[in-house]
């Protein structure tokens, strides 16, 4: 780790933290949880006090009204957010989510996570995130399109291939990204493919993007098992979440030779100690929408899935799945965090005491932003790669990043999460030092 201190530093991060102590940590507030981990890593890398103040604050927080005509003629108004956390290393990068429970604190946390995630895999992006407070299940396709286009038009001064590049997130997909790109392009007067990633192949999307996050989880899990000297073939894995990330991770881990014994979705979990054939389960979901009723496994609860006696646990569904209340029930030797923020700070402490090897979210699920970077590069060049090339390059980046974090972990006797934050903070802070403060 290089020295990122300044010679004339008056204060230290430790002094700032001691002086600015507030109320006790809200363990399940995503922004506070992210900042607690950031603070710990900032102290360990001896971060300059001025840079600490810069990096803990988002550069830009935008709140916009999103009025639309509903299908019945009524006018409804939704609230939209976009937060740019840090753009020192390149354009802001981060998804757009549509959900009833979107909050500014959540978006701020996710934007900061994107900063660290991009830095830990060393792609030249900063962190951003956005969202609209709405219930997509209660919106028609036309209403969803109008929400997307009005939200996009409200951010025209922020979005752009050189400034802020959205991607799909919770309840958004390729079609939503196509609407974002079209809205932005119509205002520019020409097609701007690089303004979003995760869009359809026909519009400049990248092969391998849809599977990228789940594939990154598979690669990180493979490297962790190899590092720990654990076998791959026959190793048992439970996966919380069977959406895009969880289902892809399940399929690829199964192809690698692991035995997937449990998966879950919003309808609950299913368990078969002899293994679940993931392709068959995926076909069941296509036909029936949910895993519920799947005939070749027994039904279990989410709590039971997290506590299964397996070697690998992949929480790939929601934030705060593993907390101080249930972390002691985890029996897995390895946790690969497919979701953003699936473990709380208190859970971290318990899991570390138990000797669980945690591959943190900002490393484990960075496959998505890595291939988003590939998509952006292809759009800028106007030259596109086949899926094999994309997957090979994703494997190279993820494998290298895992071992970069592992080295920091071993050199500093810290867990993988703290090591990932230390590495990413150093990379971002180093660029800030080189660029200086514009005044």
Q: Is 129 an annotated catalytic residue?
A: yes
Please give the Cα distance from 320 to 335 (Å, whole number). Answer: 14
**Spatial CA neighbour of 397 closest among 212, 233, 229:** 212
Tell how strand 334-336 and strand 164-168 pair up. Answer: unpaired
Residue 247's alpha-carbon distances to 61, 255, 262, 297, in angstroms, are: 33, 12, 11, 16
Determine if residue 239 is left, alpha or beta; phi over 0 gives left, psi from -120 to 50 gives alpha, anything else beta: beta
Query: What is the rounded end-to-end Cα distance, in angstroms, of the chain?
Result: 29
Q: How many CB atoms lie under 10 A from the CB of residue 412?
A: 15
Q: How many CB atoms lie under 10 A from the CB of residue 256?
A: 16
Cβ–Cβ under 8 Å, residues 336 and 224? yes
Q: How many CB atoms lie under 10 A from the CB of residue 265?
A: 21
Q: Which of 129, 199, 236, 333 is catalytic?
A: 129
Indicate the angle between helix axes 387-412 and 367-381, nearest 10 degrees. Answer: 130
User: Which strands sit side by side in the sheet containing 92-99, from one edge to the other?
Assistant: 60-69, 75-86, 126-133, 92-99, 164-168
* Residue 314, SS3 per DSSP: strand
Cβ–Cβ under 8 Å, residues 364 and 216? yes
Report, as residue numbers or ranges, the catalytic residues.
Answer: 129
């Amino acid at each position: 780790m290089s020295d990122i201190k300044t010679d004339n530093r008056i204060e230290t991060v430790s002094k700032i933290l001691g002086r600015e102590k507030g109320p006790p940590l809200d363990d399940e507030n995503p922004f506070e949880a992210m900042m607690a981990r950031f603070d710990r890593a900032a102290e360990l890398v001896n971060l300059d006090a001025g840079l600490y103040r810069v990096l803990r604050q988002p550069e830009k927080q935008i709140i916009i009204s999103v009025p639309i005509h509903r299908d019945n003629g009524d006018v409804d108004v939704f609230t939209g957010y976009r937060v740019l956390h840090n753009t020192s290393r390149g354009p802001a990068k981060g998804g757009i989510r549509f959900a009833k429970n979107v909050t500014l604190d959540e978006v701020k946390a996710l934007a900061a996570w994107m900063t660290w995630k991009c830095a830990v895999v060393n792609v030249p992006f900063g962190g951003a995130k956005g969202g609209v407070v709405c219930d997509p299940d209660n919106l028609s396709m036309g209403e969803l399109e109008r929400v997307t286009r009005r939200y996009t038009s409200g951010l025209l001064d922020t979005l752009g291939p050189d400034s802020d590049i959205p991607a799909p997130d919770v309840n958004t997909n390729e079609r939503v990204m196509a609407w974002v790109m079209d809205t932005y392009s119509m205002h520019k007067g020409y097609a701007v493919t690089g303004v979003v990633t995760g869009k359809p192949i026909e519009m400049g999307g990248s092969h391998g993007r849809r599977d990228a996050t789940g594939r990154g989880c598979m690669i990180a899990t493979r490297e962790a098992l190899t590092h720990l000297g654990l076998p791959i073939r026959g190793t048992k894995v439970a996966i919380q979440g069977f959406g895009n990330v969880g289902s892809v991770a399940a399929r690829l881990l199964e192809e690698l030779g692991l035995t997937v014994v449990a998966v879950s979705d919003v309808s609950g979990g299913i368990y078969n100690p002899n293994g679940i054939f993931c392709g068959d389960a995926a076909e069941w979901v296509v036909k029936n929408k949910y895993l519920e009723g799947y005939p070749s496994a027994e039904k279990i609860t989410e709590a039971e899935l997290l506590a299964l006696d397996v070697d690998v646990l992949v929480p790939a569904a929601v934030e705060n799945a593993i907390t101080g209340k249930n972390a002691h029930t985890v029996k897995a030797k390895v946790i690969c965090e497919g979701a953003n923020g699936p473990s709380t700070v208190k859970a971290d402490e318990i899991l570390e005491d138990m000797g669980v090897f945690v591959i943190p979210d900002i490393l484990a699920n960075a496959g998505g932003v890595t291939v988003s970077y590939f998509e952006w590069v292809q759009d800028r060049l106007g030259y596109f790669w086949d899926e094999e090339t994309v997957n090979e390059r994703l494997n190279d980046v993820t494998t290298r990043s895992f071992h970069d974090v592992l080295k920091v972990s071993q050199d500093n006797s810290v867990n993988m999460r703290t090591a990932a934050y230390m590495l990413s903070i150093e990379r971002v802070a180093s660029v800030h030092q080189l660029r200086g403060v514009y005044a």
